[in-house]
Structure 1
Amino acid sequence: MSSFVPANMQRSNQTFGLATRFALRELRGGLRGFYIFIACIALGVAAIAGVTSVSRSLTNGIANEGQAILGGDLSFSLIHRQAGEEEAAFLDTLGSVSRVATLRAMSRRSDTGDQALVELKAVDNSYPLYGSLDLASGQMLGDALAKRDGVWGAVADLALLARLDISVGETLSLGRTTVRVTDVIEAEPDKLAGGMEFGPRLMISDAAIGDTDLVQPGSLVRWHYRVRLSPAPDIDDLGNVIEQAKNATPESAWRIRSRANASPGLQRSIGRFAQFLTLVGLTALVVGGVGVANAIRAYLETKREVIASFKCLGATGDFVFRIYLVQTLVIAMIGILIGLVIGALIPFAAGAALSGVLPVQLAASIYPAELGLGLLYGLLTALAFALWPLGRAHDVPPTALFRDIVTGGSKLPRKRYLTATAVTVLLLAGIAIVLSSDKFIASVYIIASAGAFVLLVAVARAIMFVARRLPGVRSTELRLAIANIHRPGALTSSVVLSLGLGLSLLVALALIDGNLRRELTATMADRAPSFFFVDIQSHERDAFEQALKDQAPGGELQSVPMLRGRIISLNGIPADEFEPAQEGSDWVLRGDRGITYEGTVPPNSKLVEGSWWPEDYSGKPLLSFDAEAGTELGLKIGDQITLNVLGREITAEIANFRDVEWQSLSINFVMVFSPNTFAGAPHAHLMTLGWEDDVSTEAELELLKSVSNTFPTVTAVRVKDAIAQVNDLVSQLAWAIRGASSITLIASVLVLAGALAAGHRSRIYDAVILKTLGATRPRLILAYALEYAILGLTTAVFALVAGGLAAWFVITQIMDGSFVLMPVTAAGAAVVALVLTVGFGLIGTWRILGEKPAPVLRNL
């Protein structure tokens, strides 16, 4: 008998069944040494399962409240015009109809002339068809909006009252009429359906909107017809009703939405945010994978006598591999189950914590598919990082195995394990990309993370290479620190790998946030005009322009005609069926777009392909298209684009492409038409006003007050206010992203702690020998502090470079902005790296230095 089992049974018994029995017997001793392993896997799985479950909860919450959010089962939207008689008659055949008009307008205090931009909403007596509009006093909406003593009632957001310093009962000028604020809005059921808002809500009766004189031909007003279907169909049958509506009113070109897609903008934002956080969770898992590899290597070191015994009794390398693979999977499943439990609870915790913050109730539940995704990611990550160290122990004799672990030999595992590792990693990346809503961004993220990981390995080896070849130094502590960096079993690779990815991600996010803020508050604010004036009627245009020239003699004016249109088809292909050349570039096809006409190339634009039409051109309609958007859609010169403008379908041919300077926030359009295209069409004008020199806020507000009082139907947008609002939104989003991304840094800290724990045995040996030779505790602490400081500083430099490159790519290549490296962020990365490495290093070292030499020496 040449083994611990009979020879004739050896082939059949050395299977996963027998290996599993041995693996489970060894695990009876507990999980000591695997706590970091379990924590890393649990953290990453919890992040992925929790984020995807919360995203699903939000999406389902929107779907569950879709009727109230949309304001009906279906919504038919038109811009510039109301529905015609035939269109209105068709809507009445579907069920109950409620009409709502939305536009931006200026509201003014009647006594002081102070004004504020408002999101005006005019509703009929049927509003709301679903949900409830709650007022602070509890009165009915119809009573609050009724006309009393010749003055229409209005209800407003509390923010408007605070902004204009008025109380309920006071009056406001709105267009050419006066309204009295009769109540405060506490809850608006369909608020999410309106998209981004630049001012507080002011709501009036649709019977009052005619008195305001705000609705003129070409005014930027949207008419929404919400329909409560009778009988109400299942959500799956709404598509049939939409097709029926399109066939019955083919010329209407209204935008039709159903309760299944009540807030598409919000749902897209939720999907993108969830995608990003899922990738962050995956990064945390990859960082944690380093901890998995460290834990397995350390565990195999403690099991070298057991492995030697197995092999001496005839066990094959395959059998040894199976034993410890089973143990790895069992321990990984413990971490995964912990992560799944936490991930399953996160939607319930998020729903309770955000109940008063989110405008929609989370549909908190247990989502098996999302939890299954976390399980899959966790298993693949554990395998990806476990196969390599397990494979190296496959066919090495006991003495070589012992020497391999202690000396950190570089022998590669067999090809089968290399192949299995590569397949697992590719499978992990492939799943992340395939399941992503934006595969390009996901691919870039995965490639960047993989590149950073490879670079970190190279950086760690470069540090060891340089340390090994440095000339001798006089300082004993520094010499010892340098020796520790490159000695066998050094912590260099573990420290650099554990911190590098997490710090790189945080540096990249901080730089992206900082550059966006700089672009908004500095670059854009300096280059942007001070005011946008919207809905200037043609008969008012000359007088309005003259008023601006009189009150702002040094100002720079720009004026263009402005209409709104919706792309119906491209080269005969309906817009909703058109497949862009680049994924995720169909933003031009969604909703309405601002359009204009020009006889010459507009300012802030540069012709890059094709030719401009003559100023007196009178042929077929021609179109100039934004070059970047055209490339993303796959358009070329000569392509035909059909738009619906003012209820008419207009087909134009692309004559040229131009680069547009969007960053200036000046007047720019994706589409500019030849002037003959809209000859005789009613439209309003858009005008901007800016100064080359700085102008005080008081002067701007005084101009705004004067213009608003003289031209009450013109809507003025102060660019600084809009930028401040966007900046606040960016700030909140940045904090949310950085907070979520700190998961990666937590994983890095766990891996760092695990790396220090894995090196605990060799550190005790070093400390005891050095103390026996006369080294004092302070000198050893200084030596270790120098070692950790060198590693931390080097990692911080890498994080700054890698994170800076990632941020540069996002800002310049994806967002088309300008990038500046910020020294405060660099210093912050260095401080974080130094604090973590030196702090955790010394905490772990302090206990080691307290070991008494005698007990340790007796066991050597």
Structure 2
Amino acid sequence: MNGTNHPKQKPSINKSSSYMHSFFSGWSWKMAWRDARSNKKRLFIYISAIIIGVAAQVAITSFRDSLNETINNQSKELLGADLEVETEQPFPDTLRAYFDELGGEQATITEFPSMALFPKGGQTRLSNIRALKGNFPFYGTLETDPVSALQQFKSDTSALVDQTLMTQFNLSVGDSVKVGQVTFPISGAVTKVPGEAAAASMVGPRIFIPHSMLDSTKLVQQGSRIEYKRYFKFENGREITPIESKLDSLEESLAMDIDIETIEERQEELGEAVGNLGKFLNLVGFIALLLGGIGVASSIHVYINQKISTASVLRCFGASSNQTMSIFLIQAIVLGFLGALVGTLMGVGIQYLLPSLVSDFFPVDIELTISWLAIGLGLFTGTGVALVFALLPLLALRKASPLYALRTLEESITQLLSQKVKWTTYGLIALTVFGYATLLTESWRAGGLFTLGMIAAFGLLLLTAQLLIKTVKRYFPSHWTYVWRQGLANLYRPHNQTATLMLSLGLGMLLVSTLYFSQDMLMKELDFATRDDAPNLIFFDIQSDQNEGLNNLLDDQDLPILQNVPMVTMRLDSLRGRSIEAVDEDTTTEVHGWALRREYRSTYRDSLIDSETLLEGEWIGTADPSEGPVPVSAAQEIAEDLQLEIGDSLTFDVQGVPISAYVGSIRKVDFQRVQPNFFMLFPAGVLEAAPQIFVTITRTEDTEASARAQQAVVQEYPNVSAIDVSRILETINQFVSKISLAIQFMALFSIITGLIVLGSSVATSRFQRVKESVLLRTIGASRKQIIQILAVEYLFLGVLSALTGLILSVGAAWLLGYFYFDIAFVPNGWVIIGGTALVTALTILIGMVNSRSILNKTPIEVLRAETT
């Protein structure tokens, strides 16, 4: 609508007419439609920022609901049985007898890590060996390729090998794998295990062997780390609670850990993990929606500024302030709803991209469905955010005096509002953010913290942006050429959108770069395999009679023995004169239960090593247990969890033999070192006669030398396992990369929204720029110079926006490293350079594309526009 349009019917002037009457009057809707029709391009830009934010929200919420429904539908497949019982010791006769009483269908898996040798190419790999007996899984299917491999495995002595190993070592059905002393033919590849995510195979590739062949492998030896699992399938309706109670009582009477898991517990654990991930991603998507709100506020602010004359003309013809405001309020609501509708439809489509990002981390086949709750929330929040963020300039429109039909308003329209109205509106925006964040997180505390965090982030971004702008203005390079001076000056001239653009683009950069910096910081800390002289190959589960021979074998291959450490398995029997059971049941104590019940793997020596620093007490290197309690040194972490002080008494059960001890010292241990580190350190002269295994660490020059060493050791000592640190690092990197990809995918919505805000700012303020362009051409500027001026402006906008986000992300990453990860953060210069260059290039590209029509306007067009 322009100034020449007149209403067909003059509205009645009634000062007491209600605002609601104005909003619902047909005249207001008719005028809103006329004006929107003549400004449809501007108004589409207005809603485009909302579209992206709503799309992110709907996609995440719908995907989360689909995942939860899938978990409910596949609840039994998550466990594969009605009940799982797990111990770290062979089932004693009492427990076996109770299992027989329970009846039902049962299956057994004995699970442990061990090296596997593939004779075809001589490769070795630390794998998760599972000796299976019975028809597990009872629910779901152990999927193999070919399908017939599972039945063949149950009827002969073949093995099933994880698909990742088959692919990695180019194996085929009919090839063989050597596990311990037995070589098994491979009957097929394992493609899916019920209740386990695909990513689990990255940590420990699974190899299934028949339980009947377990003893023949000779891998179950003293000190081996083994999990014994029994699975049960009962008739429908069997109550599990009494069984759990009986197993709890047996746990106490047998003095052993018995872990019990039911379908409901597994479902609850996974549901909680899904819920937490969904809440986090929802908040990341919500940030994109908030940026869309900023785009709305920016766009409608410029749009309303340009409609002052229209509103003033309507006031001259007798329209009330409420009637005038209702025209543009209707536009805001309707367009907000349309933007939310388009965003909702996009979000429903985008959710089908999400399974490819996160499916490896979930142990279910995700069944995508349409979530009507997500659709409803998308429509409601998109419309609400558009309205709330447009409220400030709309309220200011009520102050449009008929006088402004003749006089130009030099200041921003929002300056007409009182401070009380402004802060009330800001409070309403904050309340909206808090309400929706609480709805997403299902916690008012989390919603409050998120709202405060967003206020702090927006405040810091705005402050940083303003400081950068003031710095540019104060130290303005007056000696630069005309084009550079003019482009730079555009950043702080009246009606500029610099702060808004830096806020939106800066927040997107803050999210993405903080995530990248954190990932880079963690990976650098984990990159211990590349440090000079750092160990990168560890052999463990070495029996006492194998220790010397294995070390000689490594010596023959010119590999250094960096450490050869004995390790003795034990448990706590009493603490400060009280039994572990009594301490654990004491509700007044702050001792952590896991530290009481865990299995300790301790060592002995006569001196501390360079990764240990004495904090309290005195280190005593030798002791004689026949003379009384022996001094032990506790690591700082376990001392805190057990509430240990110097002199506290301890009794250890060393595989049936009690050893009395006391805390002689507390030491700080660098657990990040690639070497065996221990919570409890004994002096020499105490544990030498105890059953023990050894750990040897060495360093190889390259992957080929590491492979040769592992192959030689496995062929000579099949029970010995090896950890290739470089492979572990590679696995961790894959995990972190997969997780960060999903998060970055959502964070990129913020960048996209920021770029849309940039485009909308250029589009809605196009008339202002046309006038400037015409004025420059009138005083002699060429078309080329105007293009260069615009390019310079967008260059500085991109650079300053990127720097705003990057400066704050460096600070955020440093805080995370210092307070959370306890890591010294050093920013990656290439990330800063690359991020700045990318955002700057996108800013220039979008700005120039949206400004191309400015150059085609003639002075007469501008004069006509100003007089109409």
- Return the alpha-carbon distance in structure 1 between the equivalents of residues 669 and 443 of structure 2: 25
Work out which of the residue numbers 279, 304, 320 in structure 1 matches 2:283.
279
- Return the alpha-carbon distance in structure 2 between the equivalents of residues 587 and 343 of structure 1: 45
Amino acid at match of 1:834: T
**Counterpart check, 1:173 vs 2:178:** yes
Report the equivalent of 1:50: 59
Per the alignment, do residues 184 and 341 of structure 1 end up closer, same or farther by CA in structure 2, a change over 3 Å counting?
A: same
How far 1:778 moved relative to its partner? 0.7
Per the alignment, do residues 323 and 120 of structure 1 end up closer, same or farther by CA in structure 2, a change over 3 Å counting?
A: same
Report the equivalent of 2:634: 624
Work out which of the residue numbers 213, 216, 238 in structure 2 matches 1:211.
216
Secondary structure, counterpart of 2:212 in structure 1: coil
- Return the alpha-carbon distance in structure 1 between the equivalents of residues 324 and 570 of structure 2: 71
Secondary structure, counterpart of 2:491 in structure 1: helix
Amino acid at match of 1:246: D
Structure 1-normalised TM-score? 0.84
- The answer as to whether partners of 2:631 and 2:682 remain within 8 angstroms in 1 is yes
Per the alignment, do residues 464 and 143 of structure 1 end up closer, same or farther by CA in structure 2, a change over 3 Å counting?
A: closer
Per the alignment, do residues 73 and 341 of structure 1 end up closer, same or farther by CA in structure 2, a change over 3 Å counting?
A: farther
- The answer as to whether partners of 1:623 and 1:652 remain within 8 angstroms in 2 is no
Identity %: 25
Per the alignment, do residues 490 and 435 of structure 1 end up closer, same or farther by CA in structure 2, a change over 3 Å counting?
A: closer
Per the alignment, do residues 160 and 363 of structure 1 end up closer, same or farther by CA in structure 2, a change over 3 Å counting?
A: closer
Between 411-420 and 476-485, the greater mean CA deviation after superposition: 411-420
Work out which of the residue numbers 719, 725, 729 in structure 2 matches 1:713.
719
**Counterpart check, 1:89 vs 2:97:** yes
Q: CA RMSD in A?
A: 4.5
Report the equivalent of 1:290: 294
- The answer as to whether partners of 1:626 and 1:658 remain within 8 angstroms in 2 is yes
Report the equivalent of 1:157: 162
- Return the alpha-carbon distance in structure 1 between the equivalents of residues 655 and 28 of structure 2: 74
Amino acid at match of 2:53: G
Work out which of the residue numbers 492, 514, 519 in structure 1 matches 2:525.
519
Pairwise mapping of residues 278-677 of structure 1 onto structure 2 (< 5 A)?
Answer: 278-308=282-312, 324=328, 327-347=331-351, 350=354, 360-371=364-375, 374=378, 378=382, 381-382=385-386, 385-395=389-399, 397-399=401-403, 407=412, 410=415, 413-426=418-431, 428-429=433-434, 432=437, 436=441, 449-469=454-474, 470=476, 472-473=478-479, 475-521=481-527, 526=532, 528-545=534-551, 547-548=553-554, 551-552=557-558, 554-561=560-567, 563=569, 572=583, 595-598=601-604, 604-608=611-615, 616=623, 619=629, 624=634, 626-627=636-637, 637=645, 658-669=667-678, 671-672=679-680
Describe the superposition over 1:414-454 as per-residue Cα deviations: whole angstroms up to 9, x where unpaired. Answer: 42441342253155247537854999999887655533422
Amino acid at match of 1:257: E
Amino acid at match of 1:455: L
Between 209-218 and 744-753, the greater mean CA deviation after superposition: 209-218
Structure 2-normalised TM-score? 0.83
Secondary structure, counterpart of 2:490 in structure 1: helix
How far 1:504 moved relative to its partner? 2.3
- Return the alpha-carbon distance in structure 2 between the equivalents of residues 294 and 46 of structure 1: 20
- The answer as to whether partners of 2:113 and 2:126 remain within 8 angstroms in 1 is yes
- The answer as to whether partners of 1:43 and 1:747 remain within 8 angstroms in 2 is yes
Between 461-470 and 312-321, the greater mean CA deviation after superposition: 312-321
- The answer as to whether partners of 2:563 and 2:697 remain within 8 angstroms in 1 is yes
Work out which of the residue numbers 764, 773, 791 in structure 2 matches 1:767.
773
- The answer as to whether partners of 2:176 and 2:185 remain within 8 angstroms in 1 is yes
Structure 2 unaligned segments of length 5 or more: list them.
1-9, 574-578
Work out which of the residue numbers 687, 690, 695 in structure 2 matches 1:687.
695
How far 1:166 moved relative to its partner? 4.8
Between 763-772 and 89-98, the greater mean CA deviation after superposition: 89-98
Per the alignment, do residues 91 and 540 of structure 1 end up closer, same or farther by CA in structure 2, a change over 3 Å counting?
A: same
How far 1:824 moved relative to its partner? 1.6
- Return the alpha-carbon distance in structure 2 between the equivalents of residues 320 and 180 of structure 1: 83
- The answer as to whether partners of 1:87 and 1:249 remain within 8 angstroms in 2 is no
Amino acid at match of 1:99: T
Per the alignment, do residues 571 and 850 of structure 1 end up closer, same or farther by CA in structure 2, a change over 3 Å counting?
A: farther
**Counterpart check, 1:739 vs 2:741:** no
Report the equivalent of 2:108: 99
**Counterpart check, 1:18 vs 2:22:** yes
- The answer as to whether partners of 2:58 and 2:378 remain within 8 angstroms in 1 is yes
Between 387-396 and 294-303, the greater mean CA deviation after superposition: 387-396
Work out which of the residue numbers 246, 254, 266 in structure 1 matches 2:248.
246
Between 392-401 and 440-449, the greater mean CA deviation after superposition: 440-449
Amino acid at match of 1:292: V
Describe the superposition over 1:236-294 as per-residue Cα deviations: whole angstroms up to 9, x where unpaired. Answer: x7667544543464454322222234378866664454343223212212221220111
Between 653-662 and 490-499, the greater mean CA deviation after superposition: 653-662
- The answer as to whether partners of 1:535 and 1:686 remain within 8 angstroms in 2 is yes
How far 1:781 moved relative to its partner? 0.8
- Return the alpha-carbon distance in structure 1 between the equivalents of residues 523 and 712 of structure 2: 32
Between 179-188 and 105-114, the greater mean CA deviation after superposition: 105-114
- Return the alpha-carbon distance in structure 1 between the equivalents of residues 689 and 286 of structure 2: 54
- Return the alpha-carbon distance in structure 1 between the equivalents of residues 736 and 43 of structure 2: 40
How far 1:623 moved relative to its partner? 8.1
How far 1:523 moved relative to its partner? 6.5
How far 1:747 moved relative to its partner? 0.5
Report the equivalent of 1:730: 736
Report the equivalent of 2:827: 821
Per the alignment, do residues 352 and 478 of structure 1 end up closer, same or farther by CA in structure 2, a change over 3 Å counting?
A: closer
Amino acid at match of 2:698: G
- Return the alpha-carbon distance in structure 2 between the equivalents of residues 54 and 420 of structure 1: 33
Describe the superposition over 1:528-578 as per-residue Cα deviations: whole angstroms up to 9, x where unpaired. Answer: 522222322344445444544565563311414154989999995679x99
How far 1:717 moved relative to its partner? 1.5
- The answer as to whether partners of 1:499 and 1:749 remain within 8 angstroms in 2 is yes
Amino acid at match of 1:136: D
- The answer as to whether partners of 2:392 and 2:414 remain within 8 angstroms in 1 is no
- The answer as to whether partners of 1:564 and 1:592 remain within 8 angstroms in 2 is no
How far 1:393 moved relative to its partner? 4.0
Amino acid at match of 2:675: S
Per the alignment, do residues 155 and 321 of structure 1 end up closer, same or farther by CA in structure 2, a change over 3 Å counting?
A: same
Work out which of the residue numbers 787, 803, 809 in structure 2 matches 1:803.
809
Per the alignment, do residues 571 and 653 of structure 1 end up closer, same or farther by CA in structure 2, a change over 3 Å counting?
A: farther
- Return the alpha-carbon distance in structure 2 between the equivalents of residues 124 and 74 of structure 1: 16
Describe the superposition over 1:85-131 as per-residue Cα deviations: whole angstroms up to 9, x where unpaired. Answer: 32233334163221111111122245875433222111003322222
Report the equivalent of 1:226: 231
Amino acid at match of 2:305: E
How far 1:518 moved relative to its partner? 3.1
Describe the superposition over 1:463-508 as per-residue Cα deviations: whole angstroms up to 9, x where unpaired. Answer: 4434544364463322322332222111322321231111222222
Secondary structure, counterpart of 1:182 in structure 2: strand
Secondary structure, counterpart of 1:817 in structure 2: coil
Report the equivalent of 1:258: 262
Amino acid at match of 2:497: L
Work out which of the residue numbers 854, 857, 860 in structure 2 matches 1:851.
857
Paired residues, number: 837
Secondary structure, counterpart of 1:533 in structure 2: strand
Structure 1 unaligned segments of length 5 or more: list them.
none
